[in-house]
Amino acid sequence: MTKEPKSRWPGFFKLSVEERIGLLARHSGLGGAELTFLKDQEHLSRRTANHMIENCIGTFELPLGLAMNLRVDGVDRLVPLATEEPSVLAGLSKAARFLRRGAGITTTVTSPLMIGQVQILDVPDLGAARTRVLEARRALLEEANALDPRLVEVGGGAQDLEVRILPPEGDDDPVGTMFVVHLLVDVRDAMGANAVNTMAEQLAPRLEELTGGRVRLRILSNLADRRLVTARARVPVDLLASNGASGTGPDVALGIQEASVFAERDPYRAATHNKGIMNGIDGVLIALGQDWRAVESGAHAYAARSGRYRALSSWRARGDVLHGELELPLAVGTVGGIVDSHPAVRAGLAILGIKTAAELASIAAAVGLAQNLAALRALATEGIQRGHMRLHVRKVGLSAGATEEELPALIEELQRLGRADLDTARSVLASLRQGGA
């Protein structure tokens, strides 16, 4: 097993969990509390958990895996990912291997601008209110920024204000025209919900004065469309050839393009296509203690921004290269939230070797694109069930009580029988133990 390049460790999947942790520790510089967390399973303590939520009765665990082979913006990254779903890590690591041959995944990230919304009702003169709010822009931004001098010090803070007028939708709409102020806040390395909500609440009384209206909601928007990440990749099509019945590299690239266009045209397919992307992104977000529901809702709202729900990514076969692109909002943070209190999050950041929210967003988007490639390649060729079944049969074998030594023979027999249910697994295991199949 070679040390370099850093995220490419052939055979990693064959090692025991302890051997994987040992290798990771040796080659990633992981040490101290982060290593202890992995080695000793020193998870979130009950005490910390009890401070995080109300009515706490314990903690909940998921498998934590390592995605291999990813190269993002020229840097190799080992990516921790938490998921209950089989095949996600294998598919992702395999797709990342194709992508690194095409120079890896490149990303661009916008400034981390989050939107705070203030909803104002019963505004007597919408035009005059808009003028007054926009004229008071500088004072309002100063007032917002006075709440968070630390954020301003590190280069962030409230940057701008926008006004949106939302008229009633039809005669039976029970609420009159709404005057909505958007406060745009550069939240730097934070996810930003706290900073933005505090600022939106602070400005509410002044906005009521300026508009003559009545403020109701003051809350950030999860449609973080000013905080976007774009990931792009190119794969030489020959690499995509499948061993199965499914064809040459160019055939597979064509299949991936056809799958992509299906999702671009059809919301029914787009929902599943985007779920595949989020399989990767959510896994990274969960492992890194992020608010994955915020990112999920932002991603799906962004997917529907044209008025129709669409694919977040697209793939095009051009000549001998398959080009992929994914764009979505990614509100993530490397400060605040549970970053300081959760040992898994600290270990995750150390494994990734990153500090900034922009780096985390880039890596999450790159994982989403690679995961999407893995799913589309499988779907466009042998289908996803074969890979899923291999892992499923293994899980059923373990549930039936097979030891690691007994598993290979049990799996082989279940595959021969074409069965993967627990009763069959138990009876095959019993007969294996008696010396027959």
**Residues designated catalytic:** 85, 275, 291, 388
Taking residue 61's Cβ as centre, other Cβ atoms within 10 Å add up to 12
Q: Which of 379, 389, 407, 409 binds ligand MEV (CB under 6 A)?
A: 379
Rounded to a whole number of angstroms, the minimum distance from the CB of residue 259 to ligand MEV is: 7
Site for ligand MEV in 124-143 (CB under 6 A): none
- Asked if 272 is part of the footprint of ligand MEV (rule: CB under 6 A), the reply reads yes
Per-residue DSSP letter, 174: S
Stretches 35-43, 104-112, 223-231, 270-278: which one binds ligand MEV (CB under 6 A)? 270-278
Q: Which of 276, 280, 333, 397 binds ligand MEV (CB under 6 A)?
A: 276
- Asked if 310 is part of the footprint of ligand MEV (rule: CB under 6 A), the reply reads no
User: In terms of Cα–Cα distance, which of 65, 67, 72 is closest to 100?
Assistant: 72
CA 284 to chain centre: 6
Per-residue DSSP letter, 240: G
Q: What share of the chain is helix, strand, coil (3-state, %, to 5)?
A: 50, 20, 30
Stretches 38-46, 115-123, 274-282, 395-403: which one binds ligand MEV (CB under 6 A)? 274-282
User: In terms of Cα–Cα distance, which of 277, 270, 272, 325 is closest to 303?
Assistant: 270
Stretches 49-57, 101-109, 199-207, 271-279: which one binds ligand MEV (CB under 6 A)? 271-279
- Asked if 370 is part of the footprint of ligand MEV (rule: CB under 6 A), the reply reads no
User: In terms of Cα–Cα distance, which of 79, 73, 66 is closest to 99?
Assistant: 73
Cα(435)–Cα(110) distance, integer angstroms: 63
- Asked if 265 is part of the footprint of ligand MEV (rule: CB under 6 A), the reply reads no
Rounded to a whole number of angstroms, the minimum distance from the CB of residue 419 to ligand MEV is: 23
Cα(182)–Cα(114) distance, integer angstroms: 10
Stretches 145-153, 243-251, 302-310, 374-382: which one binds ligand MEV (CB under 6 A)? 374-382
Cα(83)–Cα(399) distance, integer angstroms: 19
- Asked if 279 is part of the footprint of ligand MEV (rule: CB under 6 A), the reply reads yes
Beta-bridge partners for 228: 329
Q: Which of 121, 147, 384, 398 binds ligand MEV (CB under 6 A)?
A: 384
> Which burial class, exposed, middle or buried, applies to 72 when counting CB atoms under 10 A from its CB (0-12, 13-18, 19+)?
buried
Q: List residues binding ligand MEV (CB under 6 A).
A: 85, 272-273, 275-276, 279, 375-376, 379, 384
